[in-house]
Copies of this chain bind each other. A is one copy, B any other.
Amino acid sequence: MSENADSTGTAAHAARTSTAADSAAARPEWTPVSRPSTHELVIEAIEEQIMSGTLTVGDPLPAERELASKLGVSRASVREALRVLESLGVIRSSGGSGRGAGTFIASLPSEALTRVLRLHVALANFSVGEVIESRVQLERSSAALASARVTEDALAQLNASLAIMDTPGISLEVFNDADTAFHVAIAQATGNQLFSDLTGAIRNSLRRPILAAFRDVDDPAALMAALQKQHHAIRDAIAAGDGARAAQLTEEHIHTAAEALPALTDL
């Protein structure tokens, strides 16, 4: 209870210590002086290079031992920092020697977003209802924008996912993954990478709960067929450039799925 609260950061100005009796107005106000741990300092050092543009995607980092000695810290601290950056999808490490060996600035934001959302959904920091509401708003926007910008290539992507889901006798997992791919493809059709990464992350963060909830459905095949019918309608609306209709259909589609899987929102 009461944890997080402000979260969102920003503040940094509000006096955290309430100092109820403000009679002592001109008190020195000793702030507890936060002492950043060593690995955080290493992260900051690397982050600074990234922020200033000195390091960009594809660039190599110094070897761990070298970095450690340059920064005057132990290799263990450097490694902890690198693991953090790796989990954030910012670097990639491989062993060996010569070409391709070492640590490099990378670009894998999607996995990082997925992991964050998945864990915090599991921890119930975000309720499934909230996530679904976000998904509705996000994908409504995607559908509308995609309708205005869709290309031949993007349409082909949509059709490929639809074809998989049209295959008879398909397994639940395969259907669900193709379903995800379909919605991600719509987001990708907007040309906005953040849209598609967020869409994928939200969808993947619900993968396990969705599959679990699906097993409680009476007639899974019928539900899949119904959803697939809506998929086709959405595809048609996007292909026709009818953004308003695509957005509306997308919202109805997501609500259909959510209501057909009551076990989901019970979480």
Residues of A within 8 A of B (CB): 3-4, 6-13, 15-16, 39, 47, 50-51, 53, 56-58, 76, 79-81, 83-84, 86-90, 105-116, 119-120, 122-127, 130-131, 133-134, 137-138, 140-141, 160-161, 163-164, 167, 174, 177-178, 180-181, 184-185, 188, 192-198, 200, 204, 208
A188 surroundings in chain B (CB, below 8 A) = 15
A167 CA / B13 CA spacing, docked (Å) = 15
Name A's interface SS.
helix
Minimum CB–CB distance for A190 against chain B, Å: 8
A208 touches B51 (CB 8 A): yes
Tell which of B11, B89, B178 touches A116, judged by Cβ atoms closer than 8 Å: B89
B124 touches A56 (CB 8 A): yes
A13 touches B177 (CB 8 A): yes
Tell which of B47, B57, B109, B119 touches A126, judged by Cβ atoms closer than 8 Å: B109
Tell which of B39, B58, B107, B160 touches A10, judged by Cβ atoms closer than 8 Å: B160
Tell which of B15, B50, B196, B200 touches A185, judged by Cβ atoms closer than 8 Å: B15
Tell which of B80, B111, B137 touches A137, judged by Cβ atoms closer than 8 Å: B137
**What are the 3 A-B residue pairs with the smallest beta carbon separation, nearest first?**
A8-B200, A137-B141, A12-B181
- For this complex, 30 residue pairs linking A to B, each with C-beta atoms less than 8 Å apart, are A3-B57, A3-B106, A6-B174, A7-B111, A8-B110, A8-B163, A8-B181, A8-B196, A8-B197, A9-B111, A12-B177, A12-B178, A12-B180, A13-B174, A15-B181, A53-B122, A57-B124, A57-B125, A80-B80, A88-B119, A107-B120, A107-B125, A109-B120, A109-B126, A113-B113, A113-B116, A130-B193, A134-B195, A137-B137, A141-B141
A176 CA / B46 CA spacing, docked (Å) = 26
Tell which of B88, B115, B126, B208 touches A194, judged by Cβ atoms closer than 8 Å: B126
A177 surroundings in chain B (CB, below 8 A) = 10-13
Q: Nearest residue in B to A153 (C-beta to C-beta)?
A: B18
A185 CA / B11 CA spacing, docked (Å) = 12
A89 touches B120 (CB 8 A): yes
Q: Nearest residue in B to A127 (C-beta to C-beta)?
A: B193
A107 touches B123 (CB 8 A): yes
A163 CA / B39 CA spacing, docked (Å) = 39
A39 surroundings in chain B (CB, below 8 A) = 83
Tell which of B57, B137, B200 touches A7, judged by Cβ atoms closer than 8 Å: B200
A50 touches B123 (CB 8 A): yes
Interface centre among A125, A140, A194, A195, by most B CB within 10 Å?
A194
Q: Nearest residue in B to A176 (C-beta to C-beta)?
A: B10
